[in-house]
Amino acid sequence: MLQIHNVSKTYIKGKKEALRDINLHIKEGEFVALLGQNGAGKTTLINILAGNVKKTTGNIAIGGYNFDTNELETKHILGIVPQEIAIDMTFTVEDILVKQSGYFGIKDNGEYIDWLLSSLALTDKKKAIARSLSGGMKRRLLIAKALIHKPKILILDEPTAGVDIELRHTMYKFLEELHQTGMTIILTTHYIEEAERLCDRVVVINKGMIVADEPKDKLLKDFTHEINAEIVFDEVLNMEKLEFLAAFSPEIKDKKILAIKVLKSELTNVLEMIIKNDMKFIDMNIEKQKLEDVYLQLIRR
C-alpha cells in the first residue's frame, strides 16, 4: 500500500540530514506506530508524503502509483492529519468539511459529514465557527477533514496533543473502528501507551534512521529480558532474611510482598533459592515489560 525506498532529506541550509536512506513498506490494513524523539525525522517524513517538503533522494509508491508522477491519484489515497492545526478559523465546522469535499470533487456529502461529526463527538459544533473550538475539538476536526474523501491510508501526526483524557479515549475507539474496516493507519505519538494499545507494528526513527521495525508483540518479546516479579508470602518479611537475594535488588512491600527484578531465565533459580531458605510463598505476580521500556532501550542505543 505504501512503499518508501531509500528516501533521504537534507536541508541545504545548515546541511542537516533529516532523513537517511529510509526504507519502509506498509501493507494494506496495517496499524503502524511511528515513534521517535523530537527532531528524529517523523514529521519530515509525513511532510514529504503530504507534499509540503521535497525529498532529496529516493522513491515512493502509494497504492501502486508513483508519488512523483501521479500526484492526483496519491492524494486521493492519502488522508493526512498534520501536527499543526491548519484550518480556516472564519468558517463553520460544516462549511470546512463541505469545502474539503468540493476539493476532491465530492457533491452531496452531507450524510457522510454527519457521520464523521457524530463519530468524533462534534455534532453539536456543526454550526460553530472554527476559532471558537477548543484545541481538542480542532484536532478532531482535522481528522474529519482528512477522512472526507474516504482515503485508503490515514496518517496522523500527534493527533491527541492537547486532547483531554476522555476525548482521547473517544478518539481511540474511533481509530480502532476505522482499522477494523480495513483502513491502513500510520500514527506518530509521544504517548507510548497509545501506540501499545492501538498499533500492531512499531517503527522507531532516531536521528533520521529507522532503528527498529517489528510487529509490536515480537518487539516486546525480543527486548523483554528482565521482568518485575512480586512474590507474596504468608509471613512478615525482613531484609536480613533476604540477603541471599541481594543480587536482585529485593524490596519489601506491604510487609509480606517481595519485589525483585530478574532475568526471565533466572526466575526458576530464584524460586528454588527461596524454597531452599525455608521460605514459603503463596502467590506471585509478574509484570511484563511495556512498549515504553523497549522504546527507551532502543533510543539509548
Q: What is the pLDDT of residues 16-44, one digit of tens each?
A: 888 999 999 999 999 998 888 878 888 88
Given a cut of 90, whether residue 155 has pLDDT beyond it is yes
Around Cβ 180, how many Cβ atoms within 10 Å?
Answer: 10
Burial class (CB in 10 A: 0-12, 13-18, 19+), 127: exposed
β-bridge pairing 153-157 and 184-188: parallel
Contact 114, 123 (CB under 8 A): yes
Q: What angle do CA 217, 198, 218 make, to 5 degrees?
A: 10
| 19/7 Cα distance (integer angstroms) | 7
Note the pLDDT tens digit of each residue in 208-255. Answer: 888 888 887 777 666 666 677 888 888 888 888 888 888 887 888 888
Residue ranges and CATH numbers for the domains of the chain are 2-221 (3.40.50.300), 225-289 (3.30.70.980)
Q: How far is CA 124 from CA 117, 119, 120, 241, 247, in A?
A: 8, 12, 11, 64, 59
pTM, to two decimals: 0.74
Q: If we measure between CA atoms, which residue out of 10, 154, 20, 164 comes closest to residue 82?
A: 154
What local confidence, expressed as pLDDT, does residue 26 receive? 92
How far is residue 201 from each of residues 89, 101, 179, 186, measured CA to CA in Å? 36, 31, 13, 10
Distance CA 95, CA 62 (A): 29
Residue 295: band (very low, low, confident or very high) from pLDDT cuts 50, 70, 90? low
Q: How confident is the model at residue 136 (pLDDT cuts 50, 70, 90)?
A: confident
The whole-number pLDDT of residue 40 equals 81
pLDDT at 171 over 70: yes
Selection from 115, 126, 98 nearest residue 177 by Cα:
115
- pLDDT at position 253 is 86
Residue 216, by phi and psi: left (phi above 0), alpha (psi -120 to 50) or beta? Answer: alpha
Report the distance separating Cα 176 and Cα 192, nearest Å. Answer: 16
Query: Using the 8-state DSSP alphabet, how is residue 206 labeled?
Result: E
User: Where would I find the H helices in 88-163?
Assistant: 93-103, 110-119, 135-147
pLDDT at 135 over 90: no
Residue range 3-18, pLDDT digits in tens: 999 999 888 775 788 8
Closest CA to 211 of 111, 86, 296: 296
- Other CB atoms within 10 A of residue 287 CB: 11
Give the pLDDT mean for 52-73. 90
Kindly report, residue by residue over 105-117, the tens digit of the pLDDT.
Answer: 888 888 999 999 9
| Residue 294 scores a pLDDT above 70 | no
Contact between residue 236 and residue 255 where contact means Cβ atoms under 8 Å apart: yes
Mean pLDDT for the stretch of residues 72-84: 89
Res 242: pLDDT: 84
Residue with C-alpha cell 504517548?
191
- What is residue 157's three-state secondary structure? strand
Max avg pLDDT among 104-108, 168-172, 262-266:
104-108
How far is Cα 196 from Cα 121, in angstroms, rounded to an integer?
Answer: 24
Most confident of 116-130, 193-207, 280-294: 116-130
